[in-house]
Amino acid sequence: MNKEMKEWEEKKGIKFLKRIGIKPGHKILDFGARVGHYSIPAAVVAENTGKVYALDKNNDSLNELKRKAKKQKLENISLIKTKGNFETGLKKNSVDIALAYDILHLINNRKKLYKEIFRVLQKNGLFSVYPKHNKLDQPQKNLKNLSPKDIIKEIENHNFFFQKEYCGLISHDDFLNKGCVLNFKKKDFKEV
């Protein structure tokens, strides 16, 4: 791992994930975790009372994530290897935060992803999205014609409401870049 990413996983990523709302004790689903540039700092923030479910369809990536977690003695990461479908195997309302970072462009049937995230999130849960490769940021594949505003609309049409945007120097592939994540809440939540 390069120096920039080491510093991200050990310091900057921890700070960023606290800012977006991750807290000790949280259960976090990292959908499309790859080698854990977000799962690892999320596990540090969640502490031993919390847990990170690092989901990916790529075995090699998950093995690398496992190796890093072991090296750092992080015992609160569970790996979920899928076939690329959207079944997480997690219980309904069992997760506090779901991350979909730099993955939406790779998914054409995003409806299925949103549905599963809605199902596993607890009612006050947070859905955090990094829509890299949208129309305004190195456009690629399934997001190339959608702006961040279009993506907000799309997700709001799937039972979430947009809460807040967090921008900064954040992890993308194996480097840091300027980017913004979008936080959503489930629509059925009513503050009392």
Ligand X SMILES: C[S@@+](CC[C@H](N)C(=O)[O-])C[C@H]1O[C@@H](n2cnc3c(N)ncnc32)[C@H](O)[C@@H]1O
Q: Which is nearer to ligand X, 19 or 187 (CB)?
A: 19
Helix and strand numbers, DSSP H then E, in the chain: 6, 7
Nearest distance, CB of residue 191 and ligand X, angstroms: 30
Nearest distance, CB of residue 58 and ligand X, angstroms: 4
* DSSP type of residue 10: I
Nearest distance, CB of residue 49 and ligand X, angstroms: 24
Q: Which is nearer to ligand X, 105 or 186 (CB)?
A: 105
Q: Which is nearer to ligand X, 27 or 105 (CB)?
A: 105
Q: In Å, what is the CA distance from 39 to each residue of 12, 61, 154?
A: 13, 12, 25
Per the document, the length of the chain is: 192
Nearest to 30 by CA among 44, 17, 42: 42
Nearest distance, CB of residue 118 and ligand X, angstroms: 17
Q: Which is nearer to ligand X, 18 or 57 (CB)?
A: 57
H/E stretch holding 78: strand 77-81
* Residues of this chain that bind ligand X (CB under 6 A): 32-34, 37-38, 55-58, 61, 82, 84, 101-103, 106-107, 171
CA 163 to chain centre: 16
